[in-house]
Chain A
Amino acid sequence: MATVVTSYEPTFWDKLYIPALFQGLMLTLKHMFKKKVTIQYPDEKHVPPEGYRGLHRLNKYPDGRIRCVACEMCAAACPAHCIHIVPGPSPWEEGKERYPVRFDIDLLRCIFCGFCEMACPEKAIELTEIYDFADYSREGLWIDKAGLLEIYELTKDKNFYDNSNEE
C-alpha cells in the first residue's frame, strides 16, 4: 500500500519567521562563548593521534643497521605499486645478509593504506604522523632510502608535531 505523505502546513506563528530567526541567532551566540576548534595552520599544527597513516619511514636497529631485508613483501602487498626496491648483499658482517640498495616510494601514487607496514616481516617500514609534505615538483615527491631514514631520525623519539618539550 502506498503511503500518503502529507506536507507540513505552517501555522500563523511559523509564517511570521521572527521566532525562527531569533532561534538561529541564539545558536550563533552560544557558539561564540564555546572553545574554538579552528587551528591556525601553519603557525599552529594539528597533532595526529597514534596510528595515523602519514609519510613512511625506514626503521633502523640501535646499532645503525637498516632493519629492511629487501624481501619486497611491501612492494607485493602495495595496491598502488608505489614501492620500488633494488636488493643487494648487505655491507654489514653480522645480521641479515640482504639489504635494500635502493628503496624508493612514489608518494604521488601512494594511497597511505598501510598495507606495507602490515606485510613487513621485519617491522622495517612504518607510516608516521607526518602529513604536510607538499612539494613544487613531481620529482620532489619521490622519496628514496636516505629520505626514509631521515624521517626515521625525525620521528623515532617523539611525535613530529609535538613541540611540548622544546618550549
Chain B
Amino acid sequence: MPLIKIDDKEIEVEKGITVLQAAIDERIEIPYYCYHPALSIVGSCRMCLVEIEGMPKLQVSCNTTIGELPPERKKDGKYDMIVRTQTEIVKRERENVLEFLLLNHPLDCPVCDQAGECYLQDYSYKYGRAHSRFLEEKRVRKNEYLGSNVIINHNRCIMCTRCVRFTREISGTNELFVQARGDVSKISIFEDKSLDNMLAGNVIDICPVGALLSTDYIHKNRFWNLEAKKSICTDCSVGCNILVYSQNNRIYRLNARENHNVNGYFICDIGRYGFHRYEDAEKVTSPLIRSDGGFKPISWEGALKEIYEQFSMSMSGEKQQIVGIASPFHTNESLFMFGRLMNNIFKDKSIIGKLPFIEDYEIHFDSGFRISKDRSPNRKGLLDFCPNLEDEILQKVKAGEVRLCYALDDGVDRKLDEEWESFFKSQRFLVVQTYAMTPLAKLAHLILLGPSPMEREGTMTNDQGRIQWLNPSVSLTNKTRPDWEIIMEFMNTVGKRELKYTSVNEVNLEMGERFPDYRGRTFFKIGYQGLPKKNITTSRPSEGRQAIQ
C-alpha cells in the first residue's frame, strides 16, 4: 500500500485511487466542481489543483492516481507522493481559477435557488478574490427549458459537465452535450430530444451551481429556511434514501441521499415529485362517522365506543367474520400491531386480506439504478407480519355471514373495481384508517384519522430485505394519531388488553421480541442507512465512494 503525505498528514492508501479521493477520505478539503464519485473523471474545472513534489506544474488532484515508487526513489525515504494543498502557489491558482469561473457568472445570488448550498458561492468566499477585474460586458443568455422539469440558466453555468456525463453514464439517454468551444460553449440538448428520462431530476441535484433548476422548486423558497430530514422514499419497494426539505410543515422538495446499499447517489423522478400527490389529496381532519349519507366528525372516544359496540358484539356471536385489510404502504410497526389484533384477538374469526398490489413496469438502468415493479414500499414487511395473508380474499369470504371489516388504507387515490366495491359495500360495518378521502374511505362507516405517508414513523422493509427508517418529515396535525396507536386502542377496547406503548420505539422492541428476523433492529441500530433483516446477507455489496461535498 502506498504511503503518501498530504500537507502534514501521513496516509496509507489503496493503490490506484486518486489524490482527491484520498483527501476526501481523510477529510482534507480540496475544492472541486467537476468531480463526482459516480461519474467519470474529466478534470475540466481546474479547481482541485494541488502541488505535488517532483512535478513541474500544479496537478489536478481528481485525475492524478497514486502509485507505488521503487524503494530507492521514495520521497524523503518513505513516501510515494508528497502533496501540498495549502501553499501560496496553490492558493493563488485557486483565486485565478475562480476569477475565470466568475467572468461571465451573473452573481445573482439573491434570486438564485442554489444560494446557500452553492459551491461557487462557498469557494468564492473561502478561496476567491474579493473583487473582479473584469470590466467588459458579461455574456448574457436566456433561460431555456431542457425538459418538462428542468430549466437551464446558461449564465450561471461553469461548464463542469457533470450533467452531460450523468446523461451519458447513469441514465444512458445521451440528451445533453457541450455545444461550441471556448467562452461561447454551452450545455445544449439535441433538437429531437428532451431531458425527460426517469432520472432527469438528478441533474439538478448534482449541478454544483444554480444553472440547472427544477420547475417544481424555482422561486419557491430559500435554502436556509428549509429543514432537511433524512427519510426514505415510499413510492416503490426499492426504498431510496432521501432528504426531505420542509418549512412550517410544508414540503418543498426532495433530494437524493447517499446509500450505497440501496440507491447509490440518485433517486428517480417518480419519488422526487411524488410528494405532491399527498398535498393534493382531499384531507380528512378528524375521525368521521357516517350519518344520513354523509360524514360527520366524531371524537376519538366516540369512535372507539362505536368500534366497541360493533366489534365486541361479534366476539360473542357465532356466524360472524372479521375481515382485515392490511396495506403494504404501512410501516412494519403498524402491520405488526395489525397482525396481533387479527390473529391474537379475533383469532379464527378473522381473515386478513389486501387490496391488489400496485404494480407497474420495472425500470432498469445500465448503471445499476432500478425502479421496482412493485410500487408499494413495504410488501416484504406485510408478508412478514401477516403470514396468513389471503391472496384471494374475495373468494375466501363466506357469503351470507355478517361481516365486519377493518381496513388500513393505502392512501393512494385509486379506483376500486366493481368486485371490490360490492365487497366493501356488503360489509355491515367498515372501519377505514386513512388520512384522505380515497374511494375506499368514501365507502366507510367509520373513518379513523391516521397519518399521511410524510407523517408516518416506523421501519419499512424493502425488496432486498433491508430494514430502513421512515422518518416523519412533517409533524402530526391536531387530531391525527399514529397508526400503531390507533390499532393499540382498538386492541384495548375490543380485546380488553392493557397495552400502553408510549412511542413507536416500544412497538419496535416488542416486534423484535416476537419476530426473530427483526430482533435488535431498533431505530438506534438501523440508523439512517438501514440494516438487512437478520437472516439475510446483503445481495448488493457496498460500493462507491463517499462525497463530502
Contacts and interface: CB of A to CB of B under 8 A. Distances in A.
Interface of A: 69-73, 76, 87-89, 96-98, 121-122
B220 A87 contact: yes
B110 A88 contact: no
Nearest to A85: B222
Contacts of B115: 71
B225 A72 contact: yes
A87 B217 CA distance: 11
B145 to A, nearest CB: 14
A122 B111 CA distance: 11
Given A72-B225, A76-B224, A88 B111 contact: no
A87 B218 CA distance: 10
Tell me if A's interface is mostly helix, strand, loop or mixed. Answer: loop
Nearest to B115: A71
Interface of B: 108-111, 115, 143, 218-222, 224-225
A70 B112 CA distance: 10
A98 B219 contact: yes
A87 B224 CA distance: 14
B219 A89 contact: yes
Contacts of B221: 87
A71 B219 contact: no
A129 B221 CA distance: 31
A33 B468 CA distance: 86
B99 to A, nearest CB: 21
Contacts of B222: 71-72, 76, 87
A89 B224 contact: no
A71 B112 CA distance: 8
B111 A98 contact: yes
Contacts of A73: 110
B253 to A, nearest CB: 14
Given A72-B225, A87-B219, A89-B219, A97 B111 contact: yes
Nearest to B153: A97
Given A72-B222, A98-B111, 7 more contacts: A69-B111, A70-B219, A71-B222, A87-B219, A87-B222, A96-B111, A97-B111
A88 B219 contact: yes
A87 B115 CA distance: 14
20 contacts: A69-B110, A69-B111, A70-B219, A71-B110, A71-B111, A71-B115, A72-B222, A73-B110, A76-B222, A87-B219, A87-B221, A87-B222, A88-B219, A89-B218, A89-B219, A96-B111, A97-B111, A97-B143, A98-B111, A122-B110
A69 B220 CA distance: 12
Nearest to B111: A98
Nearest to B220: A87
B112 to A, nearest CB: 9
A91 to B, nearest CB: 12
A76 B221 CA distance: 12
A84 to B, nearest CB: 10
Contacts of B109: 71
A70 B225 CA distance: 13
Contacts of A88: 219
Contacts of B219: 70, 87-89, 97-98
B14 to A, nearest CB: 43
